[in-house]
Structure 1
């Protein structure tokens, strides 16, 4: 069964966002909702939902054109449309009778091989199909998306005893490959996996912070980065979810969970939260929540609530030094200390991890599904059992026993929950036996490769791995995968190694970001000491290394995900091909720190525009297009947008599921390796020269007069214009690649000595934001 057309019934925030993400897969989707009373436009709810999606941030659509694939309608007039769809997702309000009434209508309209699913997170499947015809039970399941659907990778699948395996398998395959989801099979239990644990964790975090007298900032600082949890922590996440949902969730858990469940011990709503909800402080969608933005003397100020008094004051979060201190001390030492924050962290984590361990096999037969649910549903870096292994199961159990607390059977033997056996990752079950982790077909992870043996080459910033079939993988692994001299050394060594021992190279890593660009800290050090030869050498090394990669005697395929900025973008522009994860944020952003791309980024990006326009229109339009993108530091908001900006070519591939990226890139590399020939040298640039420079300069000054550019923006942009127009050359004297590199180097070295550039560099390093000086 192939999913070629879908429908979502229910155009609320979740339903509409699910429809948007299905359109991201290139699939047409109907979006239906009720007809409001006295409505002139009977499709107003669905149409309004689509318009909101187009304005929302973060964007639900990977490209605004995807909205054309979403057809709005209403249940009264257009339910018959669903006769030709392959998958119908019900996303109406959490009311059993309303849902079942809809199902009865769908039963008579949808094809017999159309799968119908619910996005419910609170109602069990057995109640949803109760008293429904046998054929309906066979093609029904729960597909629980997490919000926002485009970005949260978890999809919980709950099927019943009568569900047809081939339909369930079709949805799992489609969601995996086309929607980029990590599909986790869940048992039909309250909250399934992600929310059963996640809600317990949030409720523990809320109550313990109040009991211990912590501020919301203290609680969020400790219950985040130190344990691989997003910086929202407890209270930031509650604000995001919406405080008004908490009473409904607690009521649902109260009625659905068995009496002996430990959730009942923490199932209470603090009076403070009741008052906040009553006063409209329901989180980000209301007037604020535990945090709010207030205007004081014309400036927006972030404030937080006092958990004891309910009064707001300026938010003061502990600095990064506090988090660094925890990491330096080690998690065990920190959790054993008498500090109030440590006591808080231990109470929340110990309850959550013990509760989770006690839910095996009630909610899942294996720990892998549970870990995946918290990683991909709540953005934890480590799942609960991976975190237990980091803490040490024996240490954790001993601490529980010292406090006379029950130890879950899964942890009783104090054995590691994961171990490496014969080069493969294995997980433990309740009997104490270990089983190899099974990967889906067509999935290749660098983390698995690393278990099989040492790297082919490595240094502190990068490594080269053998990923089989004659393909090597170059991995960056510095902080934010920034690039430095060690990175360049490893790239050059890899070129030599791959030339003699492999047939192709993939550039990929499993970090949150492909690369944030050059290491600015090293650059600032050299500037402070006025070590200009060192700075110029860094530029030369980058240019020569990337050029050598471009002309290597084997195909190079970049496989980026997340941020690919500055030097990270430049190395991709020098690759033969790119296989990108759909969530790719790629751009040449050097102007934000007062510089221009100088590792060949200007020449390679300009080359793309020159090749696209294919004269006789001449080089001027490509120069203007390249200048516009680089001078405005444009960054793609998806791989689809990266194609529009020409950071990706039409022939470059896009992978929706990040876990499949390396396998897809390897396949592309192997395909290119057949009869591969390196690009011809030299590449010639017919540049307009001074004429283009004058025109661009006029545009820059006009922007300045309109207040759209700062004084230093003008200075940086003038240097960029000089490079992209070909310097002092003219159309009759084409430039070589080396000529273009020389122009980049000249402009870079001129800017790096300016105080305005130093100010921008230091501001970026301190705040992570560009300075407009």
Structure 2
């Protein structure tokens, strides 16, 4: 199959530019084209300005700033001939069908034969877009709908026309999956496709009901968020993030394109308050604020929320809702059955949204899998609509719909009292449109621990970790504690994994499917020991971690770390002790212990020193490893992608990056198996460090930063202890320092810092607030 080597993107607005940025994250060059503004001296000014904005965007559009160099700014008057270089031409201009058709005619004249053309539209049917175009254009045309921000939201809705060639579809599907890390969902050519068809209805239901019943937006967002498996932004927070000025255009398009009997029309109405907010510049986070804002005319960050009835702002409240508390203990059904305002509000909205989603299959998609995937990946719902119905029970759900006078969709009638998903003889299955169960069929190269869990039992487990046999003689270590924090139970399971691998397995992969690989050691345990002054326990825990990670590093079999999300502190340290890392592109890693007043204590200092000393692309000698390690650890620097982790040497040459999260475990397993033959564990090594000379230089630099107000008093104390460790303690550049000596220095300095009240204050503060204390 032909590969995509260069892409053209038309439209340098927020969406087009962000799509271009994400394509460069895959290492693919992009030509970014826009119009020439009237009277412009620089004819490429729109594209150039867009690239500059991308480099300042938050969240970051580029996985590494250097990717910006892969975008070539251009314009549609001078550079159409450059389309002949491109394998994929993507249109992301405004939703004006006349402008799009005019552009397609220009593209058809300039593109090379066989190049693929697609639109990022989410509101205009494909049939309307290609009307009047030659068949050879229609054969290469499809809709490829990204969700914003394209780097972070995985949903990629793909719509084919009756003429679209199968090889064009497969080419884009493969590229989006493997290179862009997308979850590709096939949609029917219907208004809003899947994600926005359901998502817009959900938002409208929530806003309309809150207005009708006078539900405060803080209570509405508390209800329609985590209790339902929806991100904590809820509804009004999400609208602020998307941009309030975007909503009228989307709603207008849906109003025009949906059939008259669609339930959307019952909740679509004019909101005078919303119109006034937009007119006053309250367009959400990109404006002066939206439903939420920071109180103006004050230096303090005071969050305010709007009153939907009066339009006035007041300090945002954190409502204490009995139903929300109940949801954590007894689940979704108990939550929406609770009589308080939040429970009744969430129930009213959810019943209608879930019924709507069920009524749209097979209109918008061939199966329930596509619908659930679209809402999980496009709106970050933890559960798709049919998974939520299963939590409620299909029979109970049907009876509630009938009781409230809501039409029961045929698919709910077909299900009867059966669940939409089940596990049968170790195989995950879903209910199809005929009422039969079908097996999940994963694409080649996708291996999910969730599937393995349905088909087998763990090899070993305790309260913080599991071991799974993932086939071909490979064992998988999974963390299971809250936020996958590391504790003595985790260390115990690592030691068990080492013993089991030595006897029965060929390799070990460290992986989990949580939101984060690991946020680090459980600092609650550390604080408990601090409070009772159990310094022997602190030293013992540090030594246990060091010995466990060192045993992992020198085990007689390959160990591959496969992180995704945050890998911080101890979570980063365990990766540093693996033979290889196969990281998801969205891995955020770093040694952040200085933020709680200590230093890395499980070998992080040692491993970073060795990494910087062994890197042949960096300056040689005893000082550079110390300076580079010190800068990274003292500032608690975190790589905001796997690409940035390479620059920090958390990932080394030969470590891999997987763009698609669903392919991470299979890639890590393949890497581990490739290392099995002739594997030899690393030999213990020594390093030459400058000792007191480096320590004095580091302390002088820190004192300078302290006088300038760049570091706090305790920052400088922590930095001093870090400097002792990284410089090698009592040594000089002629004496070899062993890894064991560095571990001893780590322990001593860690315990010394842990005894200080200022460090104890930092640990206590971060546990209470989630934010570091600057003392």
Look up the match of 2:417: 414
Secondary structure of 1:295's partner?
A: coil
Instruction: Compare 419-428 and 174-183 and name the one that shifted more.
Output: 419-428
Aligned-partner Cα distance in 2 for 1:666–1:674: 14
Q: 2:678 aligned with 1:675, yes or no?
A: yes
TM-score when normalising by structure 2: 0.98
Q: Are residues 1:494 and 2:487 paired?
A: no
Deviation at 1:612, TM superposition (A): 1.2
Tell me which residue corresponds to 1:386: 387
Report the secondary structure of 2:361's partner residue. coil
Please report how far the alpha carbon of residue 475 of structure 1 lies from its aligned counterpart in structure 2 after TM superposition. Answer: 0.5
Q: Determine the structure 1 residue equivalent to 2:703.
A: 701
Quote the offset at 1:319 in angstroms.
6.1
Partners of 1:615 and 1:39 lie apart in 2 by 44
Partner of 1:78: 79
Give the whole-Å Cα distance in 1 for the aligned partners of 2:660 and 2:546: 32
Instruction: Note if contact 1:419-1:427 (Cα within 8 Å) is conserved in structure 2.
Output: yes
Pairing partner for 2:577 from 574, 594, 614: 574
Q: Distance in 2 between matches of 1:106 and 1:297?
A: 52
Q: Which residue of structure 2 aligns with residue 605 of structure 1? A: 608
Contact 1:503 1:673 (C-alpha < 8 Å) held by counterparts: yes
2:750 to 748, 751, 759: 748
* CA–CA distance in structure 2, aligned partners of residues 596 and 310 of structure 1: 49
Q: Secondary structure at the residue paired with 2:627?
A: helix
- Pairwise CA distance, 1:404: 3.4
Instruction: Out of 467-476 and 277-286, give the one that drifted further.
Output: 277-286
2:222 matches 1:221? yes
Change (3 A) 1:322 1:738: farther
CA deviations on 1:70-119 (whole Å, 9 max, x unpaired) are 00010000011001210000011110010000001111111120000000
**2:488: which partner in 1?**
485
Deviation at 1:403, TM superposition (A): 2.5
Instruction: Give the corresponding residue for 1:623.
Output: 626
Tell me which of 754, 759, 765 is aligned to 1:763: 765
Asked whether the equivalents of residues 321 and 342 of structure 2 are also in contact (C-alpha less than 8 Å), the reply is: no
Tell me the CA shift for residue 685 of structure 1.
Answer: 2.0
Task: Say if 2:221 and 2:235, in contact at 8 Å, map to a contact too.
Answer: yes
Paired with 2:173 and 2:663, the residues of 1 have a C-alpha distance of 14
Return the alpha-carbon distance in structure 1 between the equivalents of residues 756 and 763 of structure 2. Answer: 11
Match for residue 722 of structure 2?
720
Question: Could you report, residue by residue, the CA deviation over 1:584-617 in whole angstroms, capped at 9, with x for unpaired residues?
Answer: 1100000000010000110011110011159993
How many residue pairs align between the two structures? 772
> Contact 2:322/2:340 (CA < 8 Å) preserved in 1?
no
State the partner residue of 2:32.
31
State yes or no: 1:468 paired with 2:471: yes
SS at match of 1:451: helix
Give distance in 2, aligned partners of 1:124 and 1:375. 24
Pairs within 5 Å for 1:321-470: 323-412=324-413, 413-470=416-473
1:503 to 2:523 alignment: no
Cα 1:41–1:614 change in 2 (3 A) is closer
Q: 2:290 & 2:734 partners in 1: Cα distance?
A: 65
Moved more, 610-619 or 304-313: 610-619
Q: Which is worse superposed, 282-291 or 107-116?
A: 282-291
Asked whether the 8 Å contact 1:409–1:430 carries over to 2, the reply is no
Secondary structure, aligned partner of 2:442:
coil
The residue aligned with 2:234 is 233
The 1-side partners of 2:76 and 2:443 are apart by: 38
Work out whether residues 474 and 507 of structure 1, in 8 Å CA contact, stay in contact via their aligned partners in 2: yes
Q: Aligned-pair distance for 1:351?
A: 0.7
Q: Is the 8 A contact 2:240 2:289 kept in 1?
A: yes
Query: CA offset at residue 387 of structure 1?
Result: 1.4
Q: 1:215 to 1:137 in 2, by over 3 A?
A: same
| Matches for 1:78-157 after TM superposition, within 5 Å | 78-157=79-158
Distance 2:708 2:325 in 1: 44
Matches within 5 A, 1:250-261: 250-261=251-262
- Alpha-carbon deviation of 1:291? 0.6
* CA RMSD of superposed structures (Å): 1.3
For residues 655 and 455 of structure 1, do their structure 2 counterparts lie closer, same or farther at Cα, with a shift above 3 Å needed?
same
- Structure 1 position 274, deviation (Å): 2.0
Judge which range, 246-255 or 503-512, deviates more.
246-255
| C-alpha contact 2:7 2:86 (8 A) present in aligned 1 | yes
Aligned to 2:637: 634
TM-aligned CA deviation for residue 244 of structure 1: 1.6
| Structure-2 separation of matches of 1:531 and 1:617 | 42
Q: Deviations over 1:396-420 (max 9, x none)?
A: 2222223333221212212100011
Distance (whole Å) between structure 2 residues aligned to residue 686 and residue 603 of structure 1? 12
Aligned partners of 1:616, 1:272: CA distance in 2, in Å?
61
Deviation at 1:290, TM superposition (A): 0.4
- For 1:473-521, what per-residue CA distance to the aligned partner results, in whole angstroms no more than 9, with x for missing partners? 1000111100001000000001000111110000000111000000111
User: Which whole-Å deviations, capped at 9, do the CAs of 1:282-321 have from their partners, x for residues lacking one?
Assistant: 2122221101112344323211100111001111123699
CA distance in 1, matches of 2:723, 2:587: 27
CA contact (8 A) 1:613 1:622 kept: no
Match of 2:187 in 1: 186
2:712 to 710, 726, 730: 710
Out of 522, 525, 549, which is 2:552 matched to?
549
Instruction: Summarize the alignment of residues 656-695 of structure 1 with structure 2, pairs less than 5 Å apart.
Output: 656-680=659-683, 682-695=684-697
Equivalent residue of 1:299, what SS?
Answer: coil
Q: Contact conserved, 1:137 with 1:163, CA < 8 A, in 2?
A: yes
Aligned-partner Cα distance in 2 for 1:461–1:476: 6
Task: Give, in whole Å, the separation in 1 of the partners of 2:620 and 2:74.
Answer: 45
Measure the CA separation in 2 of the matches of 1:533 and 1:396. Answer: 56
1:195 maps to 196
Q: Of 565, 583, 586, which aligns to 1:583?
A: 586
Indicate the residue corresponding to 1:159 in structure 2: 160
- Residues 302 and 409 from structure 1, CA distance in 2 versus in 1: closer, same or farther, beyond 3 angstroms? same
**Per-residue deviation, 1:732:** 3.0
Counterpart residue number, 2:657: 654
Residue in structure 2 matching 1:732, options 734, 744, 749: 734
**Structure 2 CA distance for aligned equivalents of residues 645 and 321 of structure 1:** 46
Instruction: Look up the match of 2:212.
Output: 211
Describe the SS at the equivalent of 2:77.
helix
Stretch of structure 1 that moved more, 411-420 or 398-407: 398-407
- 2:79 alignment partner, SS class: helix
Whether contact under 8 Å (2:580, 2:655) holds in the other structure is yes
Asked whether the equivalents of residues 323 and 342 of structure 2 are also in contact (C-alpha less than 8 Å), the reply is no
Over 3 Å counting, the alpha-carbon distance change for 1:614 and 1:353 in structure 2 is closer
Q: Distance in 1 between matches of 2:325 and 2:732?
A: 54
Q: Provide the C-alpha distance between the structure 2 equivalents of 1:606 and 1:262, rounded to a whole number of angstroms.
A: 62
What is the aligned partner in structure 2 of residue 303 from structure 1?
A: 304
| C-alpha distance in structure 2 between counterparts of 1:322 and 1:741, whole Å | 50
Cα distance change on mapping 1:614 and 1:40 into 2, 3 Å = closer
| Cα deviation, residue 439, structure 1 | 0.8
Alignment partner of 1:561 is 2:561: no
Report the CA distance shift for 1:30/1:367 in structure 2 as closer, same or farther (over 3 A): same
Segments of structure 1 that go 5 or more residues without pairing to the other structure are none
Q: Is the 8 A contact 1:62 1:637 kept in 2?
A: yes
